[in-house]
Amino acid sequence: MREFLVEITTTIPEGTTQDEVDRRRAAEAVRARELAATGNLARLWRPVGELRSIGIWCAGDEDELHEKVLGTLPLRPWMSLTVTALESHPNDPGRTGAAR
């Protein structure tokens, strides 16, 4: 699987009830755990003081990432995404077989 850096900003549409927001957020947490278990969600952070997320997501290619991974998130209709495909850097200290 390929790795992608995904920046997510979620904007709740005006007029959305708190019940709907709570329902989607609960479903989002369940789906995130499922995607972590399948290896599609590797890491997820929230920048301090911001209402956005930055994560490392994995999929076969970018189409699969959008259709079968990010597209399955309950909050996806409210999200704007920036996706950057990643590749290994020769100086990555976490890379298997990297010179020490």
Contacts of 74 (CB under 8 A, 6+ apart): 24, 27, 28, 31
Q: What angle do CA 68, 69, 74 make, to 5 degrees?
A: 105
Q: Which pLDDT tens digit goes with each residue over 25-66?
A: 999 999 999 999 999 999 999 999 988 999 999 999 999 999
**d(C-alpha 54, C-alpha 33), whole Å:** 16
Only one residue has tokens 């995404």, namely: 81
Q: Which of 49, 51, 47, 58 is nearest to 83 (CA)?
A: 58
Asked whether the whole model's pTM tops 0.85, one would answer: yes
